Amino acid sequence: MRTFTFFGILLAFPILLYCGVFGILRLLTGLFLQPSRATLLSSILCFVIGIVLLVPVYQGDRRPVNAENLAAALDAADWRDRVAALKLIEQLQLDITDYPSYQKSMTSRHLPERYWLARALGLSKENHTIDDLFTLLSDPQPNVVCQALYALGKRGRDRKSDIIETILAKIRSTDNWYVQRYAYLALRSLGWRQPASN
């Protein structure tokens, strides 16, 4: 059903847009021209409008991010390039500290950038990146917080007791059940077990 809906929107919207624009143009040109010429002119104008709308799409095509231009992409002005770089860092399991410009993403106003930064920080072997994850636990977006918790769960080799105490404090300070679930899963992956109650 989702696939059907997706392709329905993907195909139906351009067709509906074309019909609407053609109808308006046909109506306007029909006031001044014969019906056959008005139809022909409307079709030509629709084609020209379509070409004009394709120009920004073609110009917006960015160079793909790969291992060779990863550092430049992480420092790019376009946030989408930075997100692509962070995704590639996680995919290739690279240490993000090899690219110091990642610190700019910590304060990005773009949610996907902070989200993928948290995931990439989970692969780092540097001890100080745990503090970056602790900072992301205060992010206003629960999705970023969840990914920071997920990353902390993968970082049990360093500062394990510090991480566990921070995650427990996060569970106590939030009423978001989704964040609490990620926090609990992170604790379990760190080997934490809830102590028996009296």
Q: What is the pLDDT of residue 11?
A: 80
Same domain membership, residue 143 and residue 45: no
* Co-location of 145 and 178 in the same domain: yes
- Which residues are CB-contacts of 76 (< 8 A; sequence separation ≥ 6)? 82, 85
Whether 40 and 84 map to the same domain: the answer is no
36 in any annotated domain: yes
Give the residue among 174, 165, 196 at the shortest CA–CA distance from 187.
165
52 is a domain residue:
yes
* Domain co-membership, 51 together with 75: no
Q: For the chain, how many structural domains are there in total? A: 2
Q: Is 42 within the bounds of a domain?
A: yes
- So what's the pLDDT on residue 78? 86
The verdict on 55 and 82 lying in the same domain is: no
Q: Is 13 inside any structural domain? A: yes
Q: pLDDT band at residue 5, thresholds of 50, 70 and 90?
A: confident
What is the mean predicted confidence (pLDDT) over 169-193?
A: 92
Contacts of 142 by beta carbon, 8 Å cutoff, 6+ apart: 176, 178, 179
The reported pLDDT for the residue numbered 161 is 84
CATH code, domain with 153? 1.25.10.10
Confidence of residue 23 (pLDDT cuts 50, 70, 90): very high
156 belongs to a structural domain: yes
Could you tell me if 85 and 178 lie in one domain?
A: yes
Direct distance between the N- and C-terminal alpha carbons of the chain, in angstroms, rounded to an integer:
50
**Same-domain status, 80 and 50:** no
Instruction: Please name the residues in contact with 182: beta carbons below 8 A apart, sequence gap of 6 or more.
Output: 145, 146, 149, 150
In a domain, 196, yes or no: no
Predicted confidence (pLDDT) per residue in 24-78, tens digit: 999 999 998 899 999 999 999 988 988 888 777 665 555 677 777 888 888 888 8
- Asked if 95 and 47 sit in the same domain, the reply is no
The pTM for the full model equals 0.68
State whether 30 and 83 are in the same domain.
no
Q: Report yes or no on 194 lying in a domain.
A: no
Confidence grade of residue 197 (pLDDT, cut at 50, 70, 90): low
pLDDT confidence of residue 116 = 94
pLDDT tens per residue, range 75-110: 888 898 899 999 999 999 999 989 888 888 999 999
Domain boundary residue among 59, 79, 99?
59
- Tell me which residue range forms the domain holding 78: 70-189
Query: Is 120 part of any domain?
Result: yes
